């Protein structure tokens, strides 16, 4: 059920990434709301849900941008899987792991996008891409990680059924 409830959330995040987030650029980097939502969900919930969100949101993001179709989805799936596998379930009150996961995940995600863009024939200088785009984006993601993680945690709590105990 949560898999499909989250799809409109991911759709809105991808649309905001294409329309509003480029206005918040510092250097070449801007926050990626879809990335923040998918990785937050991977840390809070089931990895399968996060993978579906990553594939759907990544495809929408690629349609709305110049990247080859599937590049964002592949990067999001890799980062979401790694976040779930390495961190497991993270409590919504945790203030340390979300910024760490977002910072490292941003570097991995951008390296993957640079590789895909190079394979597609685009010339993307690695040092310029990492310094001018990845570094500012990672800083944005680390700063926005806790509020987004908490908001996604509220959605997770709302969608997750409570266990009833008989006493």
132-161 pLDDT, tens digit per residue, is 899 999 999 999 999 999 999 888 888 777
Question: Mean pLDDT for the chain?
Answer: 88
What integer is the mean pLDDT of 119-143? 89
Please give the Cα distance from 83 to 104 (Å, whole number): 10
90-99 residue pLDDT tens: 777 778 899 9
**What pLDDT score does 32 carry?**
94
Weakest-pLDDT range from 77-91, 97-111, 131-145: 77-91
pLDDT at position 1 over 80: no
Tell whether the model's pLDDT for residue 109 goes beyond 80: yes
Please tell me the number of Cα atoms within 13 Å of 31 on its side-chain side: 18
How high is the pLDDT of residue 3? 64
Cβ neighbours for 101, distance < 8 A, ≥ 6 positions apart: 39, 43, 83, 87, 145
Share of the chain above pLDDT 90, in %: 51
* CATH architecture of the domain with residue range 2-159: Orthogonal Bundle (1.10)
Phi, psi of 69, deg, nearest 5: -60, 125
Average pLDDT over residues 17-21: 92
Percent of the chain past pLDDT 70, that is, above it, reads 94
Please report the pLDDT score of residue 40 as a whole number.
93
**CA–CA gap between residue 16 and residue 86 (Å, rounded):** 29
Across the strands, what pairs with 26? 29
| Domain ranges (residues) in the chain | 2-159
Query: What's the mean pLDDT in 78-88?
Result: 88
Mean pLDDT in residue range 19-33: 89
Q: Tokens in use for 116? A: 């895909």
pTM of the model: 0.90
Q: What is the pLDDT of residue 87?
A: 80
Q: Pick 4 or 40 by higher pLDDT.
A: 40
Q: Which residues have C-beta within 8 Å of that of residue 90, sequence separation ≥ 6?
A: 43, 44, 97, 98
């Amino acid at each position: 059920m949560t898999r499909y409830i989250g799809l409109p959330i991911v759709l809105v995040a991808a649309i905001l990434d294409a329309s509003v987030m480029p206005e918040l650029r510092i250097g070449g980097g801007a926050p990626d709301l879809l990335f923040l939502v998918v990785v937050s969900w991977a840390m809070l919930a089931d990895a399968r849900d996060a993978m579906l969100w990553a594939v759907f949101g990544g495809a929408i993001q690629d349609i709305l941008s110049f990247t080859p179709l599937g590049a964002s989805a592949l990067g999001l799936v890799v980062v979401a899987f790694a976040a779930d596998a390495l961190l497991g379930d993270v409590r919504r009150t945790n203030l340390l792991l979300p910024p760490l996961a977002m910072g490292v995940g941003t570097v991995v995600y951008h390296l993957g996008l640079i590789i895909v863009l190079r394979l597609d024939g685009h010339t993307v200088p690695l040092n310029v891409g990492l310094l001018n785009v990845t570094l500012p984006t990672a800083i944005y993601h680390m700063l926005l990680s806790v509020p987004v993680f908490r908001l996604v945690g509220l959605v997770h709590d709302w969608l997750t059924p409570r266990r009833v105990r008989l006493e």
